[in-house]
Amino acid sequence: MGKVLESISGELERWLTSQKLYFVATAPLSVEGHVNCSPKGGDTFRVLGEHEVAYLDLTGSGIETIAHLQENGRIVFVFCAFDGPPKIVRLHGTGSVVYPSDADFTPLAKQFPAHPGARAIIRVSITRVSISCGFQVPLYEFVAERNALENWTEKKSPEELDAYRRQKNSISIDEIPGYEPPRSPSAPRMQ
């Protein structure tokens, strides 16, 4: 029933970008570390090519995905059909974190609507595309996007958002380095 595809086709891209909810999962290298699965929504996902995708990472209370990617790069996206024919799509790959101070950020950011809570862009080279049935995924009706995060971030200055990220996003729950504060263009990136 399941199948592995060579790449992300135009038809699959249209299906992926029409989904209102998707999940990203990552894990640290340590077997004792916590696996993380984060729901994502809004207009934050883009297919950049047959083997490349990106999503706009918004400010949140945790930093697990970024910490894991900076440590080992492993990531999987899961998309489920909550309406129409049943389908689950998994995109496995290797991701990197593109911060606003990075040269690649501005060209990538043009792919997304402006969002005051943008913390980074996650860019992923896709190594495996698979589709499975999704027969057990329930049907749900989309009602509306939530605007709580946008409302919260619009009330913050850039300095307040940076202070929040430094306080809440600097380290993962497994004590892996997370959010990297803005740096001057000449300063080396922390490893």
H or E segment to which residue 47 belongs = strand 45-49
Please report which confidence band the pLDDT of residue 182 belongs to, taking 50, 70 and 90 as the band edges: confident
- How many residues are there in the chain? 191
Does residue 62 lie within any of the structural domains? yes
Does residue 123 lie within any of the structural domains? yes
Number of independent structural domains in the chain? 1
For residue 25, the one-letter residue type is A
Does residue 155 lie within any of the structural domains? yes
DSSP letter at 35 equals: P
pLDDT, mean over the chain: 94
Does residue 21 lie within any of the structural domains? yes
The pLDDT > 70 percentage for the chain reads 95
Q: Report yes or no on whether pTM surpasses 0.85.
A: yes
Does residue 128 lie within any of the structural domains? yes
Nearest Cα neighbor of 119 from 74, 182, 75, 54 is 182
Q: Report the pLDDT value the prediction gives residue 70, as an integer from 0 to 100.
A: 98
Residue 27 maps to which CATH number?
2.30.110.10
Does residue 102 lie within any of the structural domains? yes
Task: Tell me: pLDDT of 79 over 60.
Answer: yes
Task: Tell me: pLDDT of 190 over 90.
Answer: no
Does residue 176 lie within any of the structural domains? no
- The boundaries of the domain holding residue 69 are 3-134+144-168
Tokens of 25: 């999962």
Taking the alpha carbons at both ends of the chain, their separation in whole angstroms is 42
Q: Report the pLDDT value the prediction gives residue 181, as an integer from 0 to 100.
A: 83
Greatest extent of the chain over all pairs of C-alpha atoms, in Å:
52
Give the mean pLDDT of 164-169: 96
Does residue 173 lie within any of the structural domains? no
Could you count the other beta carbons within 10 Å of the beta carbon of residue 97? 21
Give the mean pLDDT of 114-142: 96
Q: Report the pLDDT value the prediction gives residue 189, as an integer from 0 to 100.
A: 43
